[in-house]
Structure 1
Amino acid sequence: MNEVNGCFCRKPKAFTLVELLVVIAIIGVLISLLLPAVQQAREAARKMHCTNNMKQLGLAVHNYHDNFGRFPPGYLHPDDASYRASPYDWNNAENGYGWGTFILPFIEQSALHDSFDFTTPWTATEAQHEISAYVCPSDASPPLNRFYYQDHYLQDTTKPETDRMAKSNYVANYGTASPNGAIFSKSGTTGGVSGYGSDLKFRDFTDGTSHTIYFTERDGVRTRGSGQYEAGGAIWIGVPKVYGVGGSNHIHARFPGSATENTYYGINLPTGTYGPVYGATSQHPGGVNVTMADGSVQFLSEYTAWETVAGLARRSDGKVIGEW
């Protein structure tokens, strides 16, 4: 002790190095415990935002049906009569409008919808409008899709950014068959809800609208892989260079119809597979959001049996679907 003004006072004791390190370690542990909780809360909020987006899409196609007596076509060629003619010069096909343009008035985008001349192909300038209703906040890919370009059915990394198109994280359900090379058919048991020239009504959903997927997610983070040509994600405006009627994976999803196909088109397949180009993917842990044809939104786990997924993707296969 030291004498100060005649008073003996104890000298304050400072932190030792060991004590300081212990405090720092405790703070570090607390932060490490807190961060995952914060990240989970943020992802929960992003997932809810995505759910609301998909709910709006469900309402939009129902409102479209109320106005036109049918659900919107998956996509159409500007010169539809010529496009349906056979034989057709596929190499000179042009950009076709997709379901994302047809429902614009029902997601508060009437001005954009009215700016299109649907008798002529859309342009990259028109396609670069970023629409928040078509974007999942969990997807960290750029606002403009990195892989698909105006007048290009396949990706082309040499094209300038002025030819790129605004992304979408939502794609319509084509079913369990390939969307390539066929006009959409109401017959058969592998069909989904959307495709070239589709014009479904409620009566066409013989399995029930609550048991049929209408929209699912597609993130732009995963890619097919450089070994097969790197591509991924989706766009909202339609199909660039509507090659061979098909090639509509830009706005549609294909679901697995067998155990083998589940390795190609299963949910949330990783980079290097077909899933990021053709299937259903998201950045939500464990699965994807899906909008059912009745307008409800559900979360579809990536661990769901392929048979159940196939049944949900087909609108009229007559299969009974249990709990999922």
Structure 2
Amino acid sequence: MRHEDRRRISPKNAAFTLVELLVVIAIIGVLIALLLPAVQQAREAARRMSCTNNMKQLGLAIHNYHDTFSRFPPGYLHPGDPNINFNDWNDWANSYGWGAFILPFIEQSALHDSMDFTTPWTAAEAQHELSAFVCPSDPGPPLNKFYYQGNNLQDANQPESERMAKSNYVANVGTLSVNGYWSKSSSSAGVAGYKSDLKFKDFVDGTSHTIYFCERDSVHTRGSGQYEVGGAVWIGVPKAYGAGTSSHVLGRFAGSASESTIYPINSPKGTYGAYLGVNSQHPGGVSVTLGDGSVRFLSEYTEWQTVAGLARRADGAVLGEW
């Protein structure tokens, strides 16, 4: 009799009640909520490490370029004739940027050799998606959805056949405007501009105290709708002209207290700094490649004077810790 009672009671005791099931589900939910931020942080750490590696490779590439040509790559050049009359709109053309010039030094020799640098690049050439120029944290599509190859301006309504593969890295123009001629002799100049041809001796402040590359994501954008613009491209400047924008390949920093509110690191969406300056999807700042090839993380809370000193190649600024 006892044996039969035990057989009748055991199945009932072995089952979960509704309350117990709900408690288990609640516990699992709490554990997931606790673990999810940690998983996300681990993923971002891996993405940031990959981005850092990309920027180190770019730093190595410009040094190898210098070893080969005794100068650093130009920010961008008009195809065929660097002394072209930019005031004549008939001479505006798709111009090659620093990203195209360093292709042989990032294991893209075949692509480099297939391009004719005496003629404007085409959309087909510009659509080669190169992981070396892409930060894994950037959620934007492989083709920059703001720029197109037929004009240096933005137009979100152009078909993808006119788009260019994105880049998340731009060369430092200094605290100068990216919308004008670049002067090597200016104390506000950085490392790249139209026809720039720097050598090691031109880094008066030292290569370890000068930013060479910085980040630009496709999330911090200016404007909205058709006029929204952001990110960068690796191949160069579409329909380049002298006083026109070269934000496609160059980025600038604030040079004064007033500019620090216009071009802060990680400028708010909808501002000029969002597409002319530097920004990233890494929390708290951006990664930068210095002239010596090293990569550092530049906090968005760094004082503007320190950032400006790092952006300028020869201003003699004494830099503190950063």
Q: Which band: TM-score by shorter chain?
A: over 0.9
After the TM superposition, which residues 34-53 of structure 1 pair with which residues of structure 2 at under 5 Å, given as runs? Answer: 34-53=35-54
Kept after mapping to 1: 8 A contact 2:73/2:196: yes
In structure 1, C-alpha distance between the alignment counterparts of 2:89 and 2:255, rounded to whole Å: 28
In structure 2, the CA distance between the partners of 1:191 and 1:10, relative to structure 1 (3 Å rule), is same
In the TM superposition, residue 26 of structure 1 has moved relative to its aligned partner by 1.0
Q: Give the C-alpha shift of residue 185 in structure 1.
A: 2.1
Q: Is the 8 A contact 2:174 2:252 kept in 1?
A: yes
Report the Cα offset of residue 245 of structure 1.
4.7
Return the offset for 1:25.
1.0
Deviations 1:144-180 (A, max 9, x none): 0001011211111232110000000000000001022
Matches of residues 1-324 of structure 1 in structure 2 within 5 Å? Answer: 4-5=3-4, 10-11=9-10, 12-13=12-13, 14-83=15-84, 85=85, 88-90=87-89, 92-182=91-181, 184-226=182-224, 229-324=227-322
1:6 to partner: Cα distance: 8.0
Instruction: Report the alpha carbon displacement of residue 36 of structure 1 after superposing the two structures with TM.
Output: 0.5
* One-letter identity of the residue aligned with 2:313: R
Per the alignment, do residues 259 and 159 of structure 1 end up closer, same or farther by CA in structure 2, a change over 3 Å counting?
same
Q: Distance in 2 between matches of 1:125 and 1:149?
A: 12
* Counterpart Cα distance in 1 of 2:284 and 2:211: 18
What is the CA deviation profile of residues 74-125 of structure 1, one whole-angstrom value per residue up to 9, with x for unaligned ones?
0000132551x4x731364011000000000000000100111111000101
How many Å apart are 1:8 and its aligned residue?
7.1
Could you tell me whether the CA contact under 8 Å between 2:95 and 2:120 is conserved in 1?
Answer: yes
RMSD: 1.8
Q: Whole-Å Cα distance in 1 between the matches of residues 185 and 150 of structure 2?
A: 31
Is the Cα–Cα contact under 8 Å of residues 82 and 195 in structure 2 kept in the other structure?
no
Give the deviation of 1:5 after TM superposition: 4.8
Q: 1:202 to 1:20 in 2, by over 3 A?
A: same
Q: Identity, % of aligned pairs?
A: 72
Measured after TM superposition, the shift of residue 261 of structure 1 is 1.2
**TM-score, length basis structure 2:** 0.95
State the Cα distance separating 1:23 from its structure 2 match. Answer: 1.4
Which residue type is aligned with residue 283 of structure 2?
Answer: P
Q: State how far apart, in whole Å, the 1-side matches of 2:6 and 2:197 are.
A: 96
2:222–2:275 Cα contact (<8 Å) kept: yes
Q: Which amino acid aligns with 1:55?
A: K
SS at match of 1:191: coil
Deviation at 1:4, TM superposition (A): 4.7
- Aligned residue-pair number: 320
Structure 1 position 58, deviation (Å): 0.2
Per-residue CA deviations over 1:169-216 (Å, capped at 9, x if unaligned) read 00000000102221x322121000000000000010111100000000
Give SS of 1:111's match: helix
Greater shift in the superposed pair: 314-323 or 15-24: 15-24
| Structure 1 residues 104 and 8: alpha-carbon distance in aligned structure 2, compared to 1, 3 A threshold | closer
Farther-moved stretch of structure 1 (211-220 vs 268-277): 268-277
Q: Which moved more, 1:95-104 or 1:16-25?
A: 16-25
Cα offset, 1:20, TM superposition:
1.9
| Offset, 1:251 | 0.4
- Of 273-282 and 112-121, deviating more is 273-282
CA distance in 1, matches of 2:100, 2:90: 24
The superposition leaves residues 242-273 of structure 1 with CA deviations (integer Å, 9 ceiling, x where unpaired) of 02354111000010011221222111112111
Judged with a 3 Å threshold, the aligned counterparts in structure 2 of structure 1 residues 92 and 8 are, in CA distance, closer, same or farther, namely closer
- Letter matched to residue 32 of structure 1: A
Compare 163-172 and 220-229 and name the one that shifted more. Answer: 220-229
Letter in 1 for 2:117: F
Q: Does structure 2 conserve the Cα–Cα contact (< 8 Å) formed by 1:90 and 1:244?
A: no
Shift of 1:17: 2.3
In the alignment, structure 2 segments of 5+ residues that lack a partner are: none
SS of the residue aligned with 1:167?
strand
